[in-house]
A and B are shown apart, each in its own frame.
Chain A
Amino acid sequence: MRLRLSFDVPTRRDLRVFGGYCLAAAVYIAIGVTWIDFLFSFWVGLAYVVITAWAVPTIVRRLV
């Protein structure tokens, strides 16, 4: 009997979504390191991620 290891591998689409969040995170981190007050509030973080990871891509998809 042969045993085969299987890994739970993300799909290309999962990776594309993850890449988008990583890009948004890189900008968030750059702003936060420059202006530290930006990091303090969860609500600012929530608004930021909703705008960058949902609103902007949605608007761009509609325009293109």
Chain B
Amino acid sequence: MSWAAHDLEPYAIQKHVGLKLAFVPLLIGSYSPDMMTKWFVYGIHLGPWDLKASDPAQFHRGWPGFGFTHSFIYGVAVGLIIWKLFGSKLWGVSFIVGQAAHAITDTGDTVGTMLLFPWTFHFHLDAWAYAGQTGRMTDAAAYFSGLGSMWDAVWIVYGLYSWRVLTSAYFDNYIFRADAFWPWLNRAVPRGALLTFYRAAFFYGTSRWIAWTVWAHVIHHYPYDLSWGGPHWVPAAHP
């Protein structure tokens, strides 16, 4: 799984599409595969109950499980529903692109994704360890010690290189004009706040990447292991 790439990829995509996609559904699409499942992967305490998947990797990426949320067919199905429900092809297509970016990025770990579901084959590059089954903190420590973290860093650098997509002028000329959602929201929310909304995911992804890196390597001294499939000090899950 990725911790910051899903926040940052939409800005890189945006740089290349201009008015052809809408940013909000692109971002929602990028978040969508994990929206319903992440809490149950790591587990939560709810009063006297501890709720957690017995096999988090299977639940998150497998079948039976919610692994279909990381497939192209899921993105297309939800995109079509959005198109019909909101009457906006732009929103439907933007969602599909964002969701596909998430599903493809997550093929980088050792569990991978069933991109071509209902074919249940997991596409996985094994570049970094999937450690969701170890709990949130160990997963974070492992992720920010391996190549997954470096992959996030690529998106941060590319985002900074594409700094124009974050400017006020770009927001006015492309983001605001491409999607009727922004003028609609602008009736109640000032334009300055909308610009901050637009920049929020980049801010969140980048700041969180730095914070988790500091937490893992300055506060806790987890060792870096940038070898393929690492870090090898954590038990990696496989399909």
Contacts and interface: CB of A to CB of B under 8 A. Distances in A.
A42 B204 contact: yes
Q: How many interface residues does chain B have, given as a range?
A: 20 to 34
Contacts of B215: 32-33, 36
Interface of A: 8, 10, 14, 17-18, 21, 24-25, 28-29, 32-33, 36, 39-40, 42, 45-46, 49-50, 53-55, 58
Interface stretch (B67-75, B90-98, B195-203): B195-203
Given A21-B203, A24-B203, A42-B204, A32 B211 contact: yes
B212 A50 contact: no
Contacts of B195: 54
B208 A39 contact: yes
B139 to A, nearest CB: 12
B31 interface: yes
Contacts of B158: none
B210 interface: yes
Contacts, number: 67
B149 interface: no
Given A21-B199, A21-B203, 12 more contacts: A25-B207, A28-B207, A29-B210, A39-B208, A42-B201, A42-B204, A46-B197, A46-B204, A49-B199, A50-B193, A50-B196, A53-B199
Given A39-B212, A45-B204, A50 B197 contact: yes
A53 B164 contact: no
A39 to B, nearest CB: 5
A33 B219 contact: yes
Contacts of B7: 42
A28 B163 contact: no
Nearest to A25: B207
A25 B193 contact: no
B55 to A, nearest CB: 23
Q: Is the interface of B mostly helix, strand, loop or mixed?
A: helix
29 contacts: A10-B163, A17-B168, A21-B199, A21-B203, A24-B203, A25-B203, A25-B207, A28-B203, A28-B211, A29-B207, A29-B210, A29-B214, A32-B207, A33-B214, A33-B215, A33-B218, A33-B219, A36-B215, A39-B208, A39-B212, A42-B201, A49-B196, A49-B200, A50-B193, A50-B196, A53-B199, A53-B203, A54-B193, A58-B192
B17 to A, nearest CB: 19
Nearest to B194: A54
B54 interface: no
A39 B208 CA distance: 6
Contacts of A45: 200, 203-204, 207-208
